Amino acid sequence: MKTYAPKKDTFIHAMLAGAFLLPVVLYFADSATFSEKPFLLLPLAAPLALFLWLYVDTYYIIENGQLKYKSAFLKGTIDIRKISKVINGKTMWVGIKPALARGGLVLKYNRFDEIYLAPQDKDAFIADLLAVNPALEVVEK
């Protein structure tokens, strides 16, 4: 079993910082209201909780010929032998994206399925995929 950490882009860091700073700034802007009614900050805490969940709970595992991915509420398993193509360096803007950065990998599997992943060490990730499925086509973008 080999676990891969996700690449974390500056965009996700900025979103996390913004989700944290917004309630803090609003609290200090009108501290009297928020001191009397602190529950008003709860709707602002929801995006922060979501971004934190994504940030700490995104990873990829290659084990027993299977690729397992998890990113907060997105999780699944792909048979590596069914992956036909890996496009390196491409960003997929629609579809399943358990990733925290741009410029990752698009994996095409089964007949029409594809998924976007962004492991921190793309070369080692591709090498481990090729060890299981040597017929895998790797395309550089």
Q: pLDDT of 73-112, one tens digit each? A: 999 999 999 999 999 998 888 888 999 999 999 999 999 9
* Of the candidate ranges 34-43, 84-93, 126-135, the one whose mean pLDDT is the lowest: 34-43
How high is the mean pLDDT of the chain?
93
Return the pLDDT at 11: 92
Output the six-digit token pair for 136: 């895998």
Query: In the chain, which ranges are continuous DSSP H helix?
Result: 10-29, 31-36, 42-56, 122-132
* Amino acid code (one letter) for 93: W
Please determine, for residue 55, whether its predicted confidence score (pLDDT) is greater than 90: yes
Return the pLDDT at 26: 87
Per-residue pLDDT averaged across 130-138, rounded?
95
- CA 53, CA 34: separation in Å to the nearest integer? 25
Domain boundary assignment for the chain = 1-141
Q: What 3-state class would DSSP assign to 62?
A: strand
Tell the residue number behind the tokens 């550089």, with chain if given: 140
Return the pLDDT at 44: 84
Return the pLDDT at 96: 87
Q: How many CA atoms lie within 13 A of 129 on its CB side?
A: 31
Return the pLDDT at 92: 84
* Amino acid code (one letter) for 107: L
Question: What does each C-alpha distance from 56 to 2, 47, 53 come to in angstroms?
Answer: 18, 14, 6
- CA 68, CA 65: separation in Å to the nearest integer? 10
Give the number of other CB atoms < 10 A from CB of residue 95: 10
Output the six-digit token pair for 8: 């974390």
Per-residue pLDDT averaged across 30-58, rounded?
89
Please determine, for residue 34, whether its predicted confidence score (pLDDT) is greater than 90: no
Return the pLDDT at 41: 84
CB 51 within 8 A of CB 16: yes
Select the CATH number that applies to the domain covering 1-141 from these four: 1.10.3470, 1.10.1660, 2.30.29, 2.60.40.
Answer: 2.30.29
